[in-house]
Amino acid sequence: MTDYEKRIQARADDIRRLLSESGDFLDWFEAANLSLALLNDTVVSSHPLVSSIRDALEKGDYNRALSAARAVVRLHDSNGLSNPRLEIAHEIEGDLLAIAQQQVEGAERVSDSGKKTLLLAVAAFLAGAALEDGLRRLCESSGLAYDAQK
């Protein structure tokens, strides 16, 4: 299990625990908000349950918020919260950052300043590409407009 999968599992376990506890206002509110975070980190904010949970929270609808949080846990348990595009993006970004790290380590080993500069430039480019992709997905998941050309 990757670190990402462990974090997602831990969040689902927290939601499950909150749903089984006393059921006071803070528990259901926290469970609903953790469910939103879990959805955002797995299937992004366009999932139908996101609007359902947000609406329930805005209206203070305890039963709908709990039902939606239970649905999120149920989907998680049945592997229904996977987003192949997001998984691929995470894998590509991880690969880009690993290569960037190798370039930095290579730069630390060479004494030729020209080679060092080139290796560091490649590392910066790759890290920037990973950052740009992450920021683009963050804007999309938050519904923020951005100019892809800039």
The pLDDT of 79-102, averaged and rounded, is: 83
Q: Do residues 72 and 49 make contact, with C-beta atoms less than 8 angstroms apart?
A: yes
Please check whether residues 90 and 65 belong to one and the same domain.
Answer: no
Domain end call among 40, 55, 77:
77
Domain count, the chain: 2
Residue 136 lies in a domain: yes
Residue 93, domain member (yes or no): yes
| Model pLDDT, residue 127 | 94
Token digits of residue 45 = 């904010």
User: Within a domain: residue 148?
Assistant: no
- Tell me which residue range forms the domain holding 126: 84-142
Return d(Cα 24, Cα 62) in angstroms, integer. Answer: 10
Q: Mean pLDDT for the chain?
A: 86
* 150 assigned to some structural domain: no
Distance (Å, rounded) from C-alpha 90 to C-alpha 106? Answer: 24
Which of 16, 78, 86, 95 has its CA nearest to residue 46? 86
pLDDT at site 118: 95
pLDDT in tens, 47-78: 888 888 999 889 988 888 888 999 999 988 88
Whether 4 shows a pLDDT value over 80: the answer reads no
- Taking the whole predicted model, whether its pTM rises above 0.75 is answered as no
Task: Among 51, 77, 103, give the residue marking a domain's end.
Answer: 77
